[in-house]
Each structure stands twice: as structure tokens, then as C-alpha cells.
Chains A and B, each alone.
Chain A
């Protein structure tokens, strides 16, 4: 596609439910990032995939969060047993590689846990 695509754009879920957020990166981009942004604040790093290397999971806030990237393309971020503090905008980005190329961001998924 022309850009990074994220779905759904908005998600309202009940506390305790599981949610899956999807990211479709730009074709050919080997690097993929997930970030979390609360109320127009800074970007909190969650996880980074680069090619076939083991992902950098150092930013995942708890074991309720997990992510996978199938076939080096589409990525899914899963949040289990959602809590109200998980409410935020989840942003996905991809870049051509993991070095000096800029990352392109999707429009994000706004998650609201009620």
C-alpha cells in the first residue's frame, strides 16, 4: 500500500477483554515499530521488529502485551485482560531498514478501555 495502515482506527473494549491491533507496513520495509501515545503526550516505545532478527521487546509494559509479525509483513499487537490504563493511541511505524532510513507512521488505533 501507499502508507502504513492500522486497523481498527478506534476500539472500545470492556475491562478484562482481549484486543488485537493490526499494522500493515509499507511493502518492502523490513523494520516495524509499535509505540503508545497517551493524550497527545510523548511516544512510549513498545516493540521493534527488524527482518528475521529476534524482536526487541524491551518496551512492553507487562506480560499482558505481546506482538508478532508474520512473514515479515503484517504485525499484530495483542493486549490481554485489558485495563483502563491501557487506554491510549497505539502507533505503528515502518522503515526501509533499521539504520538511517526514516520511519513512516500509521494513523494509529485509539483504544478506550471502559
Chain B
């Protein structure tokens, strides 16, 4: 069975400092990995994905994520956080078609960026 772990319930960071949100996964075969953000009282918005190729992927709003196969991780990063980045972040994994295709989410990490 596939799974996603986001070990931190909450991450606090000062505005202008680097932001990292951690994600590790477990899946059979090669993974497809995704990050989503949920602002208060809003739906989930897609940020970025890793499918294949370059391990560093860039997405919306200045976010990027690094795929590390040996550590089965896909941490989300932003070099300089903004107060407006305060939100709930979800990592998700989908196995290849042969393994069922279900999109599984982590428990979420709340990010609080303080001015």
C-alpha cells in the first residue's frame, strides 16, 4: 500500500527566511509526486509535480521541490517566505498505472510565516 508522511504538523518561519516542508513517501514502483496548497476557506490548489527527469522541479508562487529517490523524499522549498504563504500544504503520491493509480495524500503541514 502506498503512503505519504509529513512529519511536521506545523512549520513556523520568519518572513524572508527559507521555508522547507518535509514529505516522505512509500509506493511500489516509480512514483508520481505532487504538492498542493490550501489557503483558509479555499479549495486545494496544485503547486508542482515530479514525474520524471530533473530531480528539482519548480512550481507556482516561487516554490520548488527536490525528489530524492534514495531517501524517498520530496521536500517542498521556498528560498524566501512571504506572510501570504501561510497556509496548509499537502504532499501526495500516485503510483504508476499498474499499481492502481490512487492519489494518496499526507496529513498536511500548516505553515505560519510571521512578519
Tell me if A91 counts as interface (CB < 8 A to partner B): yes
Chain A residues whose CB sits within 8 angstroms of the CB of B94 once the complex forms: 98-100
B90–A42 CB distance below 8 A? yes
User: Which listed residue (A48, A93, A105) contacts B101, Cβ 8 A?
Assistant: A48
Interface residue range, chain B = 20 to 34
Complex: how many Å from CA A58 to CA B101?
13
**Is B101 a contact partner of A45 (Cβ separation < 8 A)?**
no
**Shortest CB–CB separation between residue B53 and chain A, in angstroms?**
11
Interface residues of B in 28-87 (CB under 8 A from A): 32, 34, 36, 38, 42-46, 49, 51
**Chain A residues positioned under 8 Å from B14 (CB to CB):** none
Q: What 1/0 flags go to A83-114 for Cβ under 8 Å of B? A: 00000000101010011101111111000000
B:98-113 near A, CB below 8 Å: 100-108
Residue of A41, A93, A99, A100 with highest tally of chain B CB at under 10 A: A100
Indicate if the CB atoms of B46 and A104 lie closer than 8 Å. Answer: yes
Q: What are 9 of the A-B contact pairs (CB < 8 Å)?
A: A43-B44, A45-B103, A48-B102, A91-B43, A99-B32, A102-B46, A103-B34, A103-B46, A103-B103
Question: Lowest 7 A-B CB distances belong to which pairs?
Answer: A98-B101, A42-B107, A43-B105, A105-B44, A100-B51, A102-B46, A107-B43
Interface residues of A (CB under 8 A from B): 31, 33, 35, 40-43, 45, 48, 50, 56, 58, 91, 93, 95, 98-100, 102-108
